[in-house]
Structures are given as structure tokens and as C-alpha cells.
Amino acid sequence: MTALEIKNISSGYGEVQILWGVSLKLEKGKLTSLVGANGVGKTTLMRTVVGLIKPSTGSVSFNGSDVTKTSAHAKAAQGLVLVPEGRQLFTDMTVSENLEMGAFTQRAKANFKRNLERVYEMFPRLKERINQKSGTMSGGEQQMLAVARGLMAQPDVLMIDELSLGLAPFLVLDLFEILKRLKDDGLTMLLVEQNVQMALAVSDYAYVLADGKVELEGPSRELAQNEHVRAAYLGI
């Protein structure tokens, strides 16, 4: 069953078009990755899907309903949640306060205690720093908090933009282990990631974006063996 379907999306910034008829699907309970070089439109696509940018053409369907013109706030309330590039935490707020801000939807508020316990169990480092201001934390800890804040919204689909950007390798491994656990729990996810090798290793299906268009798609294991992908993105 399809959780999220993006059809022929074209969008950009003002007169500058970045995306040219992009289509992709997220199957329920699967982890889908979107990979490609810098500047090809990955973040633009995420921002368009959640409603921060209006597409010039195309549509977005979430759980069977057309949400193309739905606001970003309303989409989040329905369960379409973005962990943005750069984390965008409330740096003067504590870990606890940031997590509370994530649980702004009615259904998240109803299950706040359960979701908070789950997040702290998944990210024990955050529980240790419950009263620490997020702006004083390390980059890895801030990324953990950004993902945890997204989970506090109780998403049906969680989209993560650049999970590993700027992080030490051992922290990247920790975060990808969390992704695997969330996938095993049945959460539908879309991962935008520059670390193509890690993204293909953890995901079920993948799309390769180039020059604002989908260049390749297929099961992640197959793309990992694709000669073009190996040469262009894996350095093989």
C-alpha cells in the first residue's frame, strides 16, 4: 500500500526552476532513500512535499488523499513530518522543551507520555541531557534531538533531510542503527542522504536524483550494484 505518492512535481524558487517532473512513491512500512549530488533538488523536493514551497505542476497524495495545497502545519498534524536539513532546533530551549514542541498535534498530545518514554529509550543520551539547552550540545546530539522531535509528532511518514551531514562516522552509525530500528517497527520513512553507500545499505527502495529529475530508481540492493551508481556515487 502506498503511503505517499509524488506525481510530476515541478517547483523551485521564484523564477528559478529546480525540479522537473519528479515522481516517486513511498510504500507503507518501508524506508525509501533519495540520493544524489549536492544541488540537484533533494531538499527542494522535501520542502515542496511538506508544503513549504508551492509546486508549479504535479500533485502530492498522502494516505490516499490529495494534500498538494494543504499547509505544512496541517500536513504535520495529519502525520507527514519533516526533520529538516540543519536540524532547526530551538537552541535556547532545553532538550525536554524541544521534544514538547514536537508534540504539537492533537494525536501526539494524546500519547505524549508514551512517545516521550519511547524516545528516551531510543536515545538515552537525550535523557541524560534533559535540562540542557540544545544549542550547547554536540552536532550528533543535536541531530538525535531533531529526529526525536520528529518522532514526538507521531508521524505516519517521517522524512529526514541529510541525516549524517557533518557528523563523525561513529555517530552516523548510531543514527543509521536507529533508522533500522524504526523501519523494523514499521515506520514509513523517506531519507535524503549524501552518504549514498549508507543510504542504500539501510533502505528498501531508492531514487537517484540528477539535475532536478529522477535518473534511476529501484530496490536499493540492485542500485548498489548498478555500474553507474557505483562509479558516480560510491567511488567504485
The fold adopted by the segment(s) 2-79+156-232 is: Rossmann fold (3.40.50)
- Position 187 pLDDT exceeds 70: yes
β-pair partners for 190: 32, 159
Which residue is it, cell 529526529?
147
198-207 pLDDT, tens per residue? 999 999 999 9
* φ/ψ bin of 14: left (φ > 0), alpha (ψ from -120 to 50), beta (otherwise): left
Q: Where are the domains of the chain?
A: 2-79+156-232, 94-154
CA distance to 11, 22, 215, 230, per residue, from 14 (Å): 9, 18, 24, 35
pLDDT of the residue at 236: 63
DSSP state of 133: B
Stretch (H or E) spanning 6: strand 2-13
Q: What is the mean pLDDT of residues 39-59?
A: 95
Is the overall model pTM greater than 0.75, yes or no? yes
Other C-beta atoms lying within 10 Å of the C-beta of residue 12: 17
Burial of 1 (0-12, 13-18, 19+ CB in 10 A): exposed
